[in-house]
């Protein structure tokens, strides 16, 4: 009998241990889903996947991460403290509402028809652009426009893109437009340099806010406003980070054969991403700013495909949606309010990709200038062999 009780006690202890472990694993898995999405988005190349940098192509700001994917959180103790303890205070997802709490579809329909609305905008975009007139936008109807988010100091990245997937020959061939999106630098010498670069290439939108990671939403929404005002006859809009490699030909094939609806929003879609509640995190979001336990479905900001109809809807809806620091999360919220579900494009990758092993790649992240140029050459070889 004593042996039986010992076995029973041991069994109960084991069951309890397993249950606790499963609980901890589920919390860890949910966090890793968001962590992996963010970390992969900021990896620069396959070679340093184990020594990733916190970086976005459109900021140029870097801080060293700890090596190894298992160090994406400082410790399991911190993970549990910052998520489990805060969970009961978060609003249930079924009650999702982000200011303004209005019928956004109806409101946008009125705005598109120049019908007055009773609500006042909550996100007034007060910044300006320095740009040249784009003849193809004024006199024609571009098939698509590349809106490329770039740090103002990333001169070599812009040069590489002009030589590769957005070179002048391809831009002409596919009746498209190339525009780089940059903020205003602190140093006058840097501003003078980018203004001179723009004088030569006439493909840079210099926005009047300061270049900063937390101004990503200003950069994206500003580009949307510019497109609606100056290039609204484009059929598609493609947002791209300047360290993405793009197969322009495959992108065009995808647009021509797969996007048939007037409203489309797609890319590498992530679901059930959870906000960071650790105040030391670069992506910290307070319960006051966002009280829900998960974000709506979102496309990685590194590569997003939109129809102009969706861009125009965002142009209006964003003015009545409170600003949020992270552009991918923000666009996911606005899309949710518009009842637009992001479409997962399988050939878009947020991590570095070996292009010789993937013959269907449309876009992949993690290509600094030199690697972008060499990888572009490999892509061209693929097409040459395929067309023989």
pLDDT digits (tens, 9 = 90+) for 19-57: 555 554 554 444 444 444 444 443 333 333 333 333 333
Task: Compute the C-alpha angle 33/263/220, nearest 5°.
Answer: 60
Give all domains of the chain, ordered by start, each with its CATH number.
Answer: 104-387 (3.90.550)
332 token code pair: 């996911």
Predicted TM-score (pTM) of this structure? 0.78
pLDDT at 228: 97
Closest CA to 37 of 252, 268, 221, 210: 268
- Residues 275 and 231: beta-carbon distance below 8 Å: no
With a cut of 50, say whether residue 142 has pLDDT above it.
Answer: yes
pLDDT digits (tens, 9 = 90+) for 86-123: 343 466 666 788 999 999 999 999 999 999 999 999 99
6: three-class secondary structure by DSSP? helix
Closest CA to 148 of 258, 241, 265: 241
pLDDT at 78: 39
Q: How confident is the model at residue 6 (pLDDT cuts 50, 70, 90)?
A: low
Averaged over 212-225, what is the pLDDT? 93
Rounded to whole angstroms, the Cα distance separating 10 from 236 reads: 63
pLDDT at 383: 72
Rounded to whole angstroms, the Cα distance separating 320 from 104 reads: 8
pLDDT at 17: 58
Cis peptide before 372 (omega within 30 of 0): no
344: three-class secondary structure by DSSP? strand
Of residues 281 and 239, which shows the higher confidence score? 239
pLDDT at 27: 46
With a cut of 90, say whether residue 366 has pLDDT above it.
Answer: yes
- Residues 289 and 254: beta-carbon distance below 8 Å: no
Task: Compute the C-alpha angle 135/126/232, nearest 5°.
Answer: 30
Distance of CA 324 to the CA centre of its chain: 13
Count the residues in the chain. Answer: 388
With a cut of 70, say whether residue 14 has pLDDT above it.
Answer: no
185: three-class secondary structure by DSSP? coil
Task: Compute the C-alpha angle 160/164/166, nearest 5°.
Answer: 100
Tell the residue number behind the tokens 């397993």, with chain if given.
Answer: 18
With a cut of 50, say whether residue 126 has pLDDT above it.
Answer: yes
Contacts of 326 (CB under 8 A, 6+ apart): 216, 217, 283, 285, 301
Buried b (16+ CB within 10 A) or exposed e, 1-32: eeeeeeeeeeeeeeeeeeeeeeeeeebbebbb
Tell the residue number behind the tokens 């100056």, with chain if given.
Answer: 230
106: three-class secondary structure by DSSP? helix
Alpha helical stretches, state H, 206-265: 216-230, 248-258
């Amino acid at each position: 009998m004593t042996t039986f009780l010992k076995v029973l006690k041991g069994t109960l202890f084991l069951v309890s241990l397993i249950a606790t472990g499963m609980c901890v694993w589920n919390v860890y898995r949910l966090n890793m889903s968001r962590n992996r999405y963010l970390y992969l988005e900021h990896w620069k190349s396959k070679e340093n996947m184990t020594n990733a940098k916190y970086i976005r192509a459109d900021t140029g700001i870097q801080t060293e991460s700890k090596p190894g994917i298992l160090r994406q959180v400082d410790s399991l103790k911190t993970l549990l403290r910052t998520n489990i303890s805060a969970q009961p205070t978060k609003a249930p997802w079924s009650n999702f509402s982000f200011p303004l709490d209005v019928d956004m579809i109806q409101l946008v329909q009125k705005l598109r028809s120049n019908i007055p609305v009773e609500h006042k905008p909550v996100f007034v975009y007060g910044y300006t652009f320095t740009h040249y007139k784009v003849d193809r936008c004024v006199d024609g109807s571009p098939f698509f426009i590349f809106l490329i988010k770039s740090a103002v100091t990333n001169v070599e990245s812009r040069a590489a893109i002009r030589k590769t997937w957005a070179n002048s020959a391809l831009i002409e061939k596919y009746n498209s437009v190339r525009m780089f999106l940059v903020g205003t630098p602190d140093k006058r010498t840097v501003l003078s340099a980018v203004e001179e670069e723009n004088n030569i290439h006439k493909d840079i939108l210099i926005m009047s806010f300061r270049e900063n990671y937390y101004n990503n939403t200003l950069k994206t929404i500003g580009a949307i406003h510019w497109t609606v005002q100056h290039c609204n006859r484009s059929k598609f809009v493609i947002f791209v980070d300047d360290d993405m490699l793009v197969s322009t030909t495959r992108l065009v094939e995808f647009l021509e054969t797969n996007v048939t609806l007037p409203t489309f929003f797609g890319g590498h879609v992530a679901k059930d991403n959870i906000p960071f509640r650790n105040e030391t995190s670069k992506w910290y979001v307070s319960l006051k700013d966002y009280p829900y336990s998960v974000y709506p479905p979102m496309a990685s900001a590194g590569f997003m495909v939109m129809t102009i109809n969706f861009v125009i809807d965002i142009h209006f809806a964003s003015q009545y949606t409170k600003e949020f620091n992270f552009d991918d999360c923000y666009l996911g919220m606005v899309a949710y309010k518009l009842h637009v579900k992001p479409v997962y494009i399988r050939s878009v990758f947020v991590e570095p990709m070996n292009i010789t092993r993937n013959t269907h790649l449309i876009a992949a992240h993690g290509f600094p200038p030199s690697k972008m140029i060499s990888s572009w050459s490999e892509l061209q070889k693929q097409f040459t062999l395929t067309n023989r």
